[in-house]
Amino acid sequence: MDGAARTAPAGIDPAVAAGAAGLTVADLFAQRAKLDAGRIALEEGERTWTYAQLDARASRLANALAARGVGRGDRVAILSENRAEYIELLLACARLACIAACQNWRMADGELRHCLGLVEPALIVASPRFAQTAAGLAAELPGAPEVLELGAPYEAALAAESEQPPAARPHPEDGLVILYTSGTTGLPKGALISQRAEVARAMVAASDLPTTPEDGFVAWAPLFHMASTDTSLATLMNGGKVIVMDGYEPDALAEVVAKERIGRLTLMPGMIGGFIEAMKRQGKPAAGVKYCGVMADLVPREQLVEITTLLDAPYLNTFGATETGSTPASRGRIPVGQAPARLDKSQNSWCLVKLVDEEDREVPDGEPGEMCVRGPTLFSGYWNNPETNAKDFRGGWFHMGDVFTRNPDGTLSFVDRRKYLIKSGGENIYPAEIERVLLAFPGVVDAIVVRREDAKWGEVPVAFVVRRDESVTEEALVEACRGEIARYKIPKAVRFVEDAELPRSVTGKIKRQDLEARLKQERA
């Protein structure tokens, strides 16, 4: 019996069955707009939109895009800070089956030129803050695409169109957003995320981190990042309210948390201390937070205790990526008031995970291996990057480039990125092994380990540490490492710095390469 005969019962066309089984973001939001027409869907400052109003504006925008020649699969680039119109564009693209290419406005013009040239947008939507930049870059692109500026031109475009949804019928595998990730060449890659993947990510969140329509989401992190895009779409498909904020303002965020019930509160490493201080200044308890935080591995243990106690909410001990969503490890939570010695991850139920060596052979429990994932939350590949796609999707799995070990109880322990190693005297050192020890030391606010060239060993680890006071010394930190990690992993030097001196990406990750460059300059 061949494969087709096994998968399709006699008389049933698989394409018909697949069509009836398919779900899209457009479908689910349209249904929510009918069921909860009067419920508040979106809030920005003093402005609010009900589901019915947001649905109507998304349809008007979809028709305005179509009037400008945008169709299925075309890219609409957006260069804007977080605004309500950003959400409208995501929904309009879902409805029209086109793709929102979300530009990182913090990039230099050369980087933006690369990102826009990569996707060749049919149209650019820009806020007044970035309209001049967008116009200049558009003039250099093939076809010199139109720039639609948010504000009066945007509102006029919507007013000229019907509230009736466009005739396009989206497919689950239609791309919805392109989010940019760092690339091995130094230039960003465009990760294409389909409507199928966004629906699956919402369903995974509903399973592992359940919320109700009464639980809102604060989109303060940039909407060009999955932290806000995924959860905003999931919240709207679930009937909740998305509160849009123009970036991280700890006092403003504390005010929202004091008056709104929040399902998942995004808190980035390096920003938690300022938020704690803002809540203490305000003196009001949280109205209700179900889960908080990301990247627990990068947060000092004492901060985990303080923030979970203050919010009366567990901290999320998860692992995911732009390419995968919160899968493959979205079930872990750190209980209120606890500072765990280990931060092992709990695998999500709705994906497959295996760990492999450099020959793609599955490793036994306890041995480090690159994490490979298979599941419905996966992205559809990097835009116009066939070589990387072939490499990362080899063997029917997505290879993440992150190294884990599997423990006897099935949990997963993060080791580090496979691509960032310190090779010292023939031994591989993963910085996270050292950082965990340093972050657990009382009085350490933050720590990052990088490699430094060494005449004898090739490379050695050096730690940059932010301390609470001068009672934390280099000698004490080195001593704390003894017995916790192998001798060759102990930092050969500890540099104390202020938090502001640590170069961070938009997601709060410290840029190791910048610190390496600093070490090289000092030795030159």
CATH of the domain at 508: 3.30.300.30
Interatomic CA distance for residues 389 and 61, integer angstroms: 33
* Encoded tokens for 139: 């003039």
Beta strand pairing call for 333-334 and 315-316: antiparallel
pLDDT tens, residue by residue, 483-504:
788 788 999 999 999 999 999 8
- Domain range for 108: 24-247
- Residue 173: other Cβ atoms inside 10 A: 12
Kindly give the parts of the chain with pLDDT less than 50: 1-5, 184, 186
Domain stop point among 232, 247, 262: 247
Phi, psi (deg, nearest 5) at residue 295: 55, 60
- CA 320-325-327 angle, to 5 degrees, is 60
Tell me, yes or no, whether 259 lies in a domain.
no
Tell me, yes or no, whether 374 lies in a domain.
no
Q: What is the largest CA-CA distance in the chain?
A: 77
Tell me, yes or no, whether 224 lies in a domain.
yes
Q: What is the pLDDT of residue 323?
A: 95
Closest CA to 359 of 349, 367, 351: 367
Domain stop point among 247, 263, 291: 247
Q: Which helix (H) or strand (E) holds 402?
A: strand 398-406
Q: What is the reported pTM? A: 0.85
Interatomic CA distance for residues 391 and 468, integer angstroms: 44
Closest CA to 384 of 201, 114, 108, 110: 114
Closest CA to 507 of 221, 124, 233: 221
Cα–Cα distances in angstroms (integers) from residue 516 to residues 134, 181, 305, 449, in the given order: 33, 21, 31, 10
Tell me, yes or no, whether 114 lies in a domain.
yes
Tell me, yes or no, whether 430 lies in a domain.
yes
User: Are 416 and 401 contacting, i.e. CB atoms less than 8 angstroms apart?
Assistant: no
Tell me, yes or no, whether 110 lies in a domain.
yes
Domain stop point among 198, 231, 247: 247
Domain count of the fold of the chain: 2
- Residue 348: other Cβ atoms inside 10 A: 26
Amino acid sitting at position 457:
W
- Residue 32: other Cβ atoms inside 10 A: 21
Tell me, yes or no, whether 354 lies in a domain.
no
CA distance between the termini of the chain: 69
Tell me, yes or no, whether 288 lies in a domain.
no
Closest CA to 198 of 167, 242, 243, 238: 238
